[in-house]
C-alpha cells in the first residue's frame, strides 16, 4: 500500500517505532500512546485493511500474527497473569489505522473492557 498507510511506513522504516519483535512476515512494536503497562501492536508486514480482510485473504498470515503476539506476550512476562489480544475492526470499534493490527495489552488488571 505504501506511503498512504502509517503502518506500512513503519514496516518500511520511514517512521520510527520501538520494535520488540520482527519475523519474515510480521512486526511487533510498542503503541505510541499505551493504554496499559504493556501495549504492543502486532501487524502483518503485508497491507490488509483489517483483520477480517486479512483472515479471509491469508488465514496463515493471520495465524502468524497471533503466533508473534503469543511470543511477545511470553517475552513481556504476561503469560502468568494474562493479557488481552484485540483487533479493532471498522468504525463501531473505533479503528483508526486501517492496516490490520492486534493490540496486545497487559501488565495490570485491564477490567472487563478496554477501548
Q: Which does 29 bind (CB under 5 to 8 A by kind): Zn ion, ligand 5GP, none?
A: ligand 5GP
Q: Which does 99 bind (CB under 5 to 8 A by kind): Zn ion, ligand 5GP, none?
A: Zn ion
Q: Is 92 a catalytic residue?
A: no
b/e 39-53 (16+ beta carbons within 10 angstroms → b): bbbbbbbbbbbbbee
Chain residues binding ligand 5GP by CB under 6 A are 6, 15, 17, 29, 31-33, 41, 88, 94-97
Find the shortest distance in angstroms from Cβ 102 to ligand 5GP: 9
SS3 for 60-115 is HHHHHHHHHHHHHHHHCCCCCCCEEEECCCCHHHCCCCCCCCEEEEECCCCCCCCC
Find the shortest distance in angstroms from Cβ 1 to Zn ion: 4
Find the shortest distance in angstroms from Cβ 29 to ligand 5GP: 5
Give the residue with the Cβ less far from ligand 5GP, 13 or 33.
33
Residue 43 CA to residue 2 CA, distance in Å, equals: 15
Chain residues binding Zn ion by CB under 5 A are 1, 5, 7-8, 47, 99
Instruction: Give catalytic residue positions.
Output: 101
Amino acid at each position: 500500500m505504501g506511503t498512504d498507510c502509517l503502518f506500512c511506513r513503519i514496516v518500511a522504516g520511514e517512521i520510527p517505532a520501538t520494535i520488540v519483535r520482527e519475523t519474515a512476515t510480521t512486526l511487533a512494536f510498542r503503541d505510541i500512546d499505551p493504554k496499559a503497562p504493556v501495549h504492543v501492536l502486532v501487524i502483518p508486514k503485508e497491507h490488509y485493511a483489517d483483520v477480517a480482510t486479512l483472515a479471509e485473504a491469508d488465514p496463515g498470515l493471520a495465524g502468524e500474527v497471533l503466533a508473534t503476539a503469543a511470543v511477545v506476550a511470553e517475552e513481556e512476562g504476561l503469560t502468568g497473569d494474562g493479557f488481552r489480544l484485540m483487533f479493532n475492526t471498522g468504525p463501531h470499534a473505533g479503528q483508526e489505522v486501517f492496516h490490520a493490527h492486534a493490540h496486545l495489552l497487559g501488565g495490570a488488571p485491564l477490567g472487563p473492557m478496554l477501548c
